[in-house]
Chains A and B, each alone.
Chain A
Amino acid sequence: MSYEILGITVLWTFLYGYLIVASIDFGAGFFSFYSVSTGHKNKVHRVIQRYLSPVWEVTNVFLIFFEIGLIGFFPESAYYYGTALLVPGSIVIILLAIRAVYYAYNTYGISNNGNIVYMALYGATGLLIPAALSTVLALSEGGIIEEIGGQVLLNWGAFFSNPYTWSVVLLAIVSVLYISAMFLSYYASKAEDRTAFEILRRYALFWSGPTILASVFAFFQINRQNPEHFQNMLHIAWMFVASLLCFLAAVYLVWRRRSLGWSFIFVLLQFAFAWYGYGRSHLPYVLYKYVNIYQNFTNEAMATAMLTAFIAGFILLVPSLVLLMRLFLFDARYIRGNSPKKGS
């Protein structure tokens, strides 16, 4: 495997990791708020908080990791995306800021009951952030970022009038809710919390329909936006079929209330197939026609150094993440809530 492919695969994998953990986190924030405002609070809120509290900080790092890695491996992308994304990028920063901070205030700062305004901010940003972030996928297809006379510009008209932009936004929002509900159903069943499980199962089944419809819609919009990319996707159509099969398996298991662990693994596979299929067919471009992974790769010395750092970092990171998961995700006593209370 060439350095270029290796580099982009590493980055794409981290973005996949972010997609999953952030979706769980974003969706959980929304459900948490929703459950409070509909009076289901005591049934699901606790399960959600138990999961979220120790992991919220880790989620952010995935995103920064991707951004820094992208600039490191493909410095040209800093120039194009950096210039064009000033406004949307700043808005995402602000949303992320509000979300993280008010989460922390709510969880650690205020006494038991929580603050409904903080929770509303938390829930709303949980849907706005994925919507805003996903538009970068639309930008990367080309035709929206243009370089005219040595200046990089974002064509706002093309950006907003583009059906593909809206299809990825829609897909991002519904799949956040779907992934999150699927995970939380599994988590609630591990916690042996029947009431929470039943509510979360309903959410999961409810959001599965829109998710698959939005996926199909986005799939065909790519054809209009970037036919070359769409043709590439058809060459590896089996990956998208596999994704669909995993989706069916996951929903079936939740519907029958069986093997929820497996069900969530199928969700992971569903998004993995779609994500890597999409990414693979997008190559060799990071930004269509402007940034190409072969022509705009960093020098060899930096590539080697970064891959070495990556392997070393990974050796540290994986056991730490496993430890975190064993302590908080797979520790039945902690999940059921027999452990000491938060933060003190």
Chain B
Amino acid sequence: MSLNDPVMMSRILTGLTLFVHINLAAIGVGLPVMMALAEWRGIRTGDPHYILLARRWARGFVISVAVGVVTGTAIGLQLSLLWPTFMRVAGRAIALPMFMETFAFFIEAIFLGIYLYTWDRFRNKYLHLLLLIPTAIGSTASAFFITSMNAFMNMPQGFTLKNGVFTDVNPLMAMFNPATPTKVSHVIASSYTVSACLLVAIAAFSLLKGRRHVYYKKALKLTVVSAFVFALATAIIGDFSGKYLARYQPEKLAAAEWHFDTRDKAPLIYGGILDKNNQVKYAIKIPYALSILAGSSPNMTVIGLNEFPKENIPPLSIHYMFDLKVTNGIMLILIPFIYILRKRIPGMRGAVPKWLLIGLVALAPLAFVAVELGWFFAEVGRQPWILRGYMRVSEGATTSTHVPWMLVLFVLLYLVLCVSCLRVLGKMFRNKNVDDELRELYPEGGGMK
């Protein structure tokens, strides 16, 4: 790797921006849904605790949105700054979803602004809640559009390539390519999961620190149940993604599974290492599982890596990303499941035990790591292509020699942003505790228990 290689530097910088942005984007998509859920329960049951929950989440949410908008703006501009040749060619086929994404973002930005400033302005409480609907639709739609563009890069279609220019373009075919349904639904479901897990962790952490207020218990229950439902949905969609890969991007699945020879009754390889001759060692082999993942039948033939020319094979290290992400995903289902079942487990009738609370706090890091790994797997897994089958990454990057300096600048920027963001968030919640806020909001004794 050389500092003078704009391609490598552009890859690192783009990866870095997305690495930061994805966390915030996932929160941006999922949190409005969670806020709506809490506020809706609060209005329906007349329980001020849920309203306060929504309010406190909203307050933290604004900060993360601010940083998310910023990193989103960065990636929006960096696409053209770092990948000008790619944008020139691909812009002819996929400008539509990008353009629509900005509209979705507009709607989200407008209604979120209104939501935050109208808590007590409407006599009908549902009116305020309704403002979250366009906010959530806006954020989910923007995830949809931008992910469909990413899906296109994995599965380009809807054009003919003539002398390096896309002709006969069909923008809708490009947008709704075979990768779109699984990719989009997986991204949206996992964003909801991450957001719910983050909120689980906050509630569980407060309980661990010995805060006994019933507010935290309600918060925990609401968020854990949501996290369980979303994580389960994410896993089911993940299974569809496996089937998609087997059919349309077999080299990515084969690289993820270290599956070299085409065969049926293919085993799934978990963990392990590869030696020099590409022999798998120390791995757990689950018979038939890969065939089942790829085609719901143990007799399914799974294409192996040996069928592909060497220069078109993604790095084999994506195996670890895939395994880890799946492991995390399973934990995200398992831990909430134990929480939900805990009253049926003998000896666990009282308060939530400490070890389970620790497990629930761990949901947040597990979920964020899973999202990062998932994206790394998806992106590194389509190397060496920027447009699979059409354009290599090296052909799309900028020719400018200034990328290393920009990389340094952005590393500094993101460090400052992330550290200050966490500090401000921490301060915000330490300064105001739940009891005081309840008394402020409901002076006639809606407060303490």
Q: Hey, which bits of chain A sit against chain B, CB under 8 A?
A: 53-55, 57-58, 60-61, 63-65, 67-69, 71-73, 75-76, 78-83, 85-87, 89-94, 96-98, 100-101, 103-105, 108-111, 151-152, 298-299, 301-302, 305-306, 309-310, 313, 316-317, 320-321, 323-324, 327-328, 339-340, 342-344
Asked if A64 and B105 sit within 8 Å, CB to CB, the answer is yes
Residues of chain A within 8 A of B114, CB atoms compared: 54, 323-324, 327
Check if B313 is an interface residue, CB within 8 A of chain A: no
Asked if A75 and B91 sit within 8 Å, CB to CB, the answer is yes
Could you tell me the distance between the alpha carbons of A7 and B376 in the complex, rounded to whole angstroms?
Answer: 36
Asked if A65 and B417 sit within 8 Å, CB to CB, the answer is no
Check if B82 is an interface residue, CB within 8 A of chain A: yes
Residues of chain A within 8 A of B55, CB atoms compared: 344
Asked if A343 and B88 sit within 8 Å, CB to CB, the answer is no
A58-B106, A309-B96 in contact; A320/B424 too (CB < 8 A)? Answer: no
A78-B84, A324-B113 in contact; A90/B73 too (CB < 8 A)? Answer: no
Residues of chain B within 8 A of A82, CB atoms compared: 80-84, 87, 398
Taking the nearest CB of chain B, how far is it from the CB of A259, in angstroms?
29
* Chain B contacts with A in 412-440, Cβ cutoff 8 A: 413, 417, 420-421, 424-425, 427-428, 431
A93-B73, A340-B121, A343-B116 in contact; A310/B81 too (CB < 8 A)? Answer: no
Asked if B399 and A152 sit within 8 Å, CB to CB, the answer is yes
Cross-interface CB contact of B73 among A96, A152, A313, A343, cutoff 8 Å: A96
Residues of chain B within 8 A of A327, CB atoms compared: 114, 117-118, 121
Check if B126 is an interface residue, CB within 8 A of chain A: no
Taking the nearest CB of chain A, how far is it from the CB of B61, in angstroms?
10
Residue of B nearest to A328 (CB): B117
Could you tell me the distance between the alpha carbons of A298 and B172 in the complex, rounded to whole angstroms?
Answer: 15
Residues of chain A within 8 A of B417, CB atoms compared: 97, 101
Residues of chain A within 8 A of B70, CB atoms compared: 96-97, 100-101
Asked if A298 and B91 sit within 8 Å, CB to CB, the answer is yes
Asked if A90 and B62 sit within 8 Å, CB to CB, the answer is no
A64-B73, A86-B82, A343-B59 in contact; A79/B110 too (CB < 8 A)? Answer: no
Residues of chain B within 8 A of A109, CB atoms compared: 63, 424-425, 427-428
Residues of chain A within 8 A of B63, CB atoms compared: 104-105, 108-109
Could you tell me the distance between the alpha carbons of A290 and B145 in the complex, rounded to whole angstroms?
Answer: 31
A82-B80, A86-B403, A151-B399 in contact; A57/B410 too (CB < 8 A)? Answer: no
Residues of chain B within 8 A of A105, CB atoms compared: 63, 66, 420, 424
Residue of A nearest to B85 (CB): A79
A71-B91, A340-B119 in contact; A89/B98 too (CB < 8 A)? Answer: no
Residues of chain A within 8 A of B406, CB atoms compared: 86-87, 90
* Chain B contacts with A in 69-101, Cβ cutoff 8 A: 69-74, 76-78, 80-85, 87-89, 91-93, 95-96, 98-101
Cross-interface CB contact of B88 among A79, A87, A299, cutoff 8 Å: A79
Could you tell me the distance between the alpha carbons of A109 and B425 in the complex, rounded to whole angstroms?
Answer: 7
Q: Hey, which bits of chain B sit against chain A, CB under 8 A?
A: 55, 59, 62-63, 65-67, 69-74, 76-78, 80-85, 87-89, 91-93, 95-96, 98-103, 105-107, 109-114, 116-121, 134, 166-172, 398-400, 402-403, 405-406, 409-410, 413, 417, 420-421, 424-425, 427-428, 431
A85-B81, A86-B403, A306-B95 in contact; A320/B100 too (CB < 8 A)? Answer: no
A86-B398, A323-B114, A327-B118 in contact; A61/B81 too (CB < 8 A)? Answer: no
Asked if A299 and B166 sit within 8 Å, CB to CB, the answer is yes
Could you tell me the distance between the alpha carbons of A96 and B73 in the complex, rounded to whole angstroms?
Answer: 9
Asked if B95 and A298 sit within 8 Å, CB to CB, the answer is yes
Could you tell me the distance between the alpha carbons of A85 and B398 in the complex, rounded to whole angstroms?
Answer: 11
Residue of B nearest to A304 (CB): B171
Residues of chain B within 8 A of A75, CB atoms compared: 87-89, 91-92, 95
Give the most central of B59, B92, B99, B120: most A CB within 10 Å: B99
Asked if B77 and A93 sit within 8 Å, CB to CB, the answer is yes
Cross-interface CB contact of A309 among B91, B103, B119, cutoff 8 Å: B103
Interface of A is mostly: helix
12 of the cross-chain contacts (CB-CB < 8 Å) are: A57-B112, A65-B103, A75-B91, A83-B398, A90-B81, A90-B409, A96-B70, A104-B66, A109-B428, A301-B168, A305-B96, A344-B119
Asked if B81 and A89 sit within 8 Å, CB to CB, the answer is yes
Asked if A324 and B121 sit within 8 Å, CB to CB, the answer is no
Residue of B nearest to A68 (CB): B98
Cross-interface CB contact of B134 among A53, A301, A320, cutoff 8 Å: A320
Residues of chain B within 8 A of A85, CB atoms compared: 81
Residues of chain A within 8 A of B84, CB atoms compared: 78-83, 152
Given A86-B400, A101-B421, A316-B103, 15 new contacts (CB under 8 A): A54-B113, A67-B76, A68-B76, A72-B96, A75-B95, A78-B91, A83-B84, A105-B420, A109-B424, A110-B427, A299-B167, A317-B106, A320-B106, A320-B134, A340-B120
Residues of chain B within 8 A of A54, CB atoms compared: 113-114, 116-117
Taking the nearest CB of chain B, how far is it from the CB of A137, in angstroms?
17
Residues of chain A within 8 A of B424, CB atoms compared: 105, 109-110
Asked if A65 and B106 sit within 8 Å, CB to CB, the answer is yes
Asked if B103 and A57 sit within 8 Å, CB to CB, the answer is no
Could you tell me the distance between the alpha carbons of A339 and B431 in the complex, rounded to whole angstroms?
Answer: 23
Asked if A68 and B102 sit within 8 Å, CB to CB, the answer is yes
A72-B95, A344-B55 in contact; A81/B80 too (CB < 8 A)? Answer: yes
Asked if B421 and A60 sit within 8 Å, CB to CB, the answer is no
Taking the nearest CB of chain A, how far is it from the CB of B37, in angstroms?
20
Taking the nearest CB of chain B, how far is it from the CB of A72, in angstroms?
3
Residues of chain B within 8 A of A60, CB atoms compared: 69, 73, 109
Could you tell me the distance between the alpha carbons of A77 and B72 in the complex, rounded to whole angstroms?
Answer: 21
Could you tell me the distance between the alpha carbons of A251 and B7 in the complex, rounded to whole angstroms?
Answer: 53
Could you tell me the distance between the alpha carbons of A321 and B424 in the complex, rounded to whole angstroms?
Answer: 30
Asked if B99 and A310 sit within 8 Å, CB to CB, the answer is yes
Could you tell me the distance between the alpha carbons of A103 and B424 in the complex, rounded to whole angstroms?
Answer: 12
Asked if A89 and B413 sit within 8 Å, CB to CB, the answer is no
Residues of chain B within 8 A of A76, CB atoms compared: 88
Residues of chain A within 8 A of B409, CB atoms compared: 90-91, 94
Residues of chain A within 8 A of B168, CB atoms compared: 301
Residues of chain A within 8 A of B99, CB atoms compared: 68-69, 72, 306, 309-310
Could you tell me the distance between the alpha carbons of A91 and B111 in the complex, rounded to whole angstroms?
Answer: 30
Asked if B420 and A101 sit within 8 Å, CB to CB, the answer is yes
Residue of A nearest to B399 (CB): A151
Asked if B400 and A97 sit within 8 Å, CB to CB, the answer is no
Asked if A313 and B103 sit within 8 Å, CB to CB, the answer is yes
Taking the nearest CB of chain A, how far is it from the CB of B192, in angstroms?
22
Give the most central of A72, A306, A310: most B CB within 10 Å: A72
Could you tell me the distance between the alpha carbons of A64 and B142 in the complex, rounded to whole angstroms?
Answer: 13
Asked if B102 and A100 sit within 8 Å, CB to CB, the answer is no
Taking the nearest CB of chain B, how far is it from the CB of A56, in angstroms?
8
Taking the nearest CB of chain B, how far is it from the CB of A316, in angstroms?
6
Cross-interface CB contact of B87 among A71, A73, A313, cutoff 8 Å: A71
